[in-house]
Amino acid sequence: MTTTTPQRIIELWPALSEEARKALTDIAESATNQPPLQLTAEEAAALQRSQQDFTAGRTLSFEEMRAATDAFLAELRARP
């Protein structure tokens, strides 16, 4: 029997169906006595868009995100 680590769950997560993800989340929440996460409609929609972006490969590396953020902040600082 092997020990399941958080890293292994992260590795397997993309291959899981939504039903399997929900089941795994339900198990973890019940084991820790944590209440289910309650999302607003806006948060749920943002999460759905994020999942679609990941599925379609629309992601940024950390370096790309950092460069975009730095450029945005520099633009804000340059404003009078």
* 53 and 33, same domain (yes or no): no
Could you tell me the residue range of the domain that residue 14 belongs to? 1-38
Number of domains into which the chain is organized: 2
* 47 and 33, same domain (yes or no): no
Look up residue 29 and give its two tokens.
């929440």
* 69 and 79, same domain (yes or no): yes
3-state secondary structure the chain: CCCCCHHHHHHHHHHCCHHHHHHHHHHHHHHHCCCCCCCCHHHHHHHHHHHHHHHCCCCCCHHHHHHHHHHHHHHHHHCC
Q: Would you state the pLDDT for residue 64?
A: 94
* 57 and 30, same domain (yes or no): no
Quote the pTM value: 0.43
14-52 tens-digit pLDDT: 999 999 999 988 888 888 887 777 889 999 999 999 989
